[in-house]
């Protein structure tokens, strides 16, 4: 069958030209209409948060430049806009790469069945975002895995190997439509206050497809060699920083997996590959348990006695809890749009366990502030920290932010960077300034309660309170 004259290529979470199966198929037509639609209507509660929108602005700008200014931009319900464009421009085919968020699946399923009934229109979808699609991996009895290690080792690693990435096409004959919006018209950047300018200047994010490849290459040359141990130390540069690029699809997981796989096998490399496996597992869970961002994965948590306190929540969000490791993490998030994984676990445990604040509040704040905010990884990780998720941390694991800090930031470098009020504290007290005597505090120019907050909770008492609250779920956990 000959290719239709005009094809729409609908970009979604795949804002790239390298290793893009839908693009490779669309260019078989004489003319390609590259399209991106900002669809807040269908996303509802899960429309992109502030930081994601900033990232998206730059990612679209880069993609548009790569397409010689021919990227067509729209805003509204994709399931209204696409049928309209198909009939208006006499389109013969539409291609897109699949997404796995429940709201996108609902929308795309309805749209696909409506378009398929349009005579002469070819509708094709592809996998570009996952190494193994959720329906490819199942237990012997056909049900989905609920535990990571068997999912990854028995399921994924015994299934087909991840595909080799495909090259960028040499030539794309793209068409710009007269009714396309400008990037500015999408209003993705905040105006007042223009906080994104500070974020962008503080951390050297290069939000482009090339920037994603540069990050990967830099990580493979340097960080990966110490990844297994180094990934726990927030002041070290041992992690890839690829999460927002993977989320927006500026680089494919296949490209990352295959590049890392070609290195000599060792524990660092394999650990890194398994983290890509955690990303897959999060999508797998979201696909099979679509209420993951809303409902406790383990229903026994439904009676958990949360004690939400607005003042405490605000102190946590602003990095003013008086617990240095927590404050450093929350300020890193606010100032850079990113937070180190070890610290995400520490701040999450503090919110949920020491403050007894519902994990959904943590999820919402991360959703708004993270550049890599991702429905699957965010929901799965918050439920993991709470203990309510699949293969979750046991309820009695309550991170002590002081000992975590002493172990993973022994010289306080991370604290000194993000909590400069404490920069002159000696190492011994930098994670617990409330234990320092008056003269130590004075020499470090710290006045607790004035220059830096006193802790909003006593760590020992609040730990005890959490253990009592977790009695509600304890009996079942032991089973
Ligand atoms: C409470 C909490 C919330 C989180 N929210 C998100 C989120 O919204 N988006 C997000 O991408 N990650 C989230 N994570 C997972 C993890 O913290 C980040 O993926 C990681 O810190 C990204 O940094 P990196 O790219 O340098 O990771 P690296 O260590 O270099 O790992 C490489 C890639 O593997 C994947 N990955 C690594 N760890 C995990 C993990 N635990 N779960 C899922 N995928 C993982 C990411 O795609 C990452 O880019 C969350 C973790 C916690 C504890």
End-to-end Cα distance, the chain: 59
C-beta atoms surrounding 11 within 10 Å: 24
**Nearest atom (ligand 1) to Cα of 241:** 26
Query: Which is it for the CA torsion 467, 469, 475, 478, positive or negative?
Result: negative
Task: For 346, list phi and psi in degrees, rounded to 5.
Answer: -70, -50
pLDDT at residue 46 in the model = 97
Cα(403) to ligand 1 centroid in Å equals 23
Burial (Cβ within 10 Å: 0-12, 13-18, ≥19) of residue 96: buried
For residues 37-59, one letter each, b for 16 or more C-beta atoms within 10 angstroms of the residue's C-beta and e for the rest, the string is bbbeebeeebebbbbbbbbbbbb
Residue 48 near residue 187, CB atoms below 8 Å: no
- 385 — phi, psi (to 5°)? -65, -40
Q: pTM score, two decimals?
A: 0.96
Top mutation candidate among 381, 392, 404 for ligand 1, by most atoms within 8 Å of CB: 381
Place of tokens 């948060």: 49
Strands 93-97 and 6-11: parallel
Q: How confident is the model at residue 475, as a pLDDT? A: 59
Token pair of 15, please?
């804002």
Helix, strand and coil content of the chain, in percent to the nearest 5, comes to 50, 5, 40
Q: Which residue's alpha carbon is nearest to atom 22 within ligand 1?
A: 243
Atom 2 in ligand 1: residue holding the nearest Cα: 381
Taking the C-alpha atoms of residue 208 and residue 72, their distance in angstroms, rounded to an integer, is: 18
Closest ligand 1 atom to 242 CA = 25
**Residues 246, 249, 250, 252, Cα dihedral to 10°:** 70
How far apart are the CA of 32 and the centre of ligand 1, in A? 34
Q: How many helices and strands, by DSSP H and E, does the chain display? A: 23, 5
Q: For each of the domains in the chain, give its residue range(s) and CATH number, in order of start.
A: 6-128 (3.40.50.620), 130-164+206-288 (1.25.40.80), 299-478 (1.10.579.10)
Atom of ligand 1 nearest to the CA of 348: 1
What are the phi and psi torsion angles at 112 (to 5°)? -60, -45
pLDDT given for residue 472 in this prediction: 81
What span, in angstroms and rounded, lies between the C-alpha atoms of 462 and 468?
Answer: 10
Position in ligand 1 atom list of the atom nearest CA 243: 49
Substitution site in 341, 376, 383 for ligand 1 pocket (most atoms within 8 Å of beta carbon): 341
The whole-number pLDDT of residue 477 equals: 45
Residue with tokens 């806009």: 81
**C-alpha neighbours within 13 Å on the C-beta side of residue 36:** 25
Any idea which residues carry the catalytic annotation?
275, 278, 306, 341, 359, 382
Residues with Cβ within 8 Å of residue 450, at least 6 apart in sequence: none
Specify whether the CB–CB gap between 9 and 23 falls below 8 A. yes
pLDDT in tens, 352-364: 999 999 999 999 9
User: Which residues, judged by CB distance below 6 Å to any ligand atom, belong to the binding site of ligand 1?
Assistant: 231, 239-243, 246-247, 275-276, 278-279, 282, 341, 344-345, 348, 366, 370, 372-374, 377-378, 381-382, 385
Q: What is the pLDDT at residue 158?
A: 95
Distance (Å) of CA 211 to CA 170, 249, 258? 20, 12, 18
Which tokens in the block code for residue 69? 């200014």
Which residue, judged by its Cα, is nearest atom 20 of ligand 1? 341
Nearest to 441 by CA among 457, 454, 424: 424
pLDDT score, position 202: 53
Q: Report the nearest-CA residue for atom 45 of ligand 1.
A: 279
Residue ranges, the chain, pLDDT below 50:
477-479
Buried b / exposed e along 261-291 (16+ C-beta atoms within 10 A):
eeeeeeebbeebbbbbbbbbbbbbbbbbbbe
CB half-sphere exposure, 280, CA atoms < 13 A: 31
């Amino acid at each position: 069958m000959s290719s239709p004259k005009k094809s729409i290529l609908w970009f979604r979470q795949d804002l790239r030209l390298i290793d893009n199966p839908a693009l490779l198929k669309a260019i078989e037509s004489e003319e390609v209409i590259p399209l991106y639609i900002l669809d807040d209507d269908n996303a509802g509660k899960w429309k992109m948060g502030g930081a994601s929108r900033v990232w998206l602005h730059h990612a679209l700008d880069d993609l548009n430049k790569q397409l010689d200014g021919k990227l067509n931009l729209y805003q509204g319900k994709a399931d209204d806009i696409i049928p309209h464009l198909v009939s208006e421009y006499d389109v013969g085919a539409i291609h897109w790469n699949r997404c796995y968020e429940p709201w996108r699946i609902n929308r795309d399923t309805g749209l696909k069945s409506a378009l398929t009934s349009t005579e002469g229109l070819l509708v094709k979808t592809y996998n570009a975002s996952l190494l193994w699609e959720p329906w490819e991996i199942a237990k012997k009895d056909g049900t989905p895995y609920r535990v990571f290690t068997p999912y990854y080792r028995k399921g994924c690693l015994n299934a087909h190997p991840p595909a080799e990435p495909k090259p960028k096409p040499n030539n794309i004959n793209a068409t710009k439509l007269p009714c396309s919006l400008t990037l500015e018209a999408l209003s993705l950047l905040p105006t007042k206050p223009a906080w994104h300018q500070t974020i962008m200047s503080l951390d050297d994010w290069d939000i482009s497809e090339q920037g994603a490849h540069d990050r990967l290459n830099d990580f493979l040359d340097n960080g990966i060699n110490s990844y297994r141990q180094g990934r726990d130390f927030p002041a070290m540069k041992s992690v890839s920083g690829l999460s927002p690029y993977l989320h927006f699809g500026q680089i494919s997981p296949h490209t990352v997996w295959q590049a890392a796989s070609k290195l000599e096998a060792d524990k660092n490399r394999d650990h890194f590959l398994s983290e890509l496996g955690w990303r897959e597992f999060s999508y797998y869970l979201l696909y099979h348990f679509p209420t993951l961002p809303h409902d406790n994965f383990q229903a026994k948590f439904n009676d958990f006695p949360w004690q939400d306190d607005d003042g405490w929540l605000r102190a946590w969000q602003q990095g003013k809890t008086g617990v240095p490791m927590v404050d450093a993490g929350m300020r890193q998030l606010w100032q850079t749009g990113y937070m180190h994984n070890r610290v995400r676990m520490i701040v999450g445990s503090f919110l949920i366990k020491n403050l007894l604040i519902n994990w959904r509040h943590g999820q919402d704040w991360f959703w708004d502030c993270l550049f890599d905010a991702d429905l699957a990884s965010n929901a799965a990780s918050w439920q993991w920290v709470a203990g309510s998720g699949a293969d979750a941390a046991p309820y009695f694991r309550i991170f002590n932010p002081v000992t975590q800090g002493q172990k993973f930031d022994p010289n306080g470098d991370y604290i000194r960077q993000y909590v400069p009020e404490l920069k002159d504290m000696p190492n011994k007290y930098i994670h617990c300034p409330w234990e320092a005597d008056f003269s130590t505090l004075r020499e470090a120019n710290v006045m607790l309660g004035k220059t830096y907050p006193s802790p909003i909770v006593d760590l020992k008492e609040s730990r005890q309170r959490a253990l009592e609250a977790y009695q509600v779920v304890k009996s079942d956990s032991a089973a």
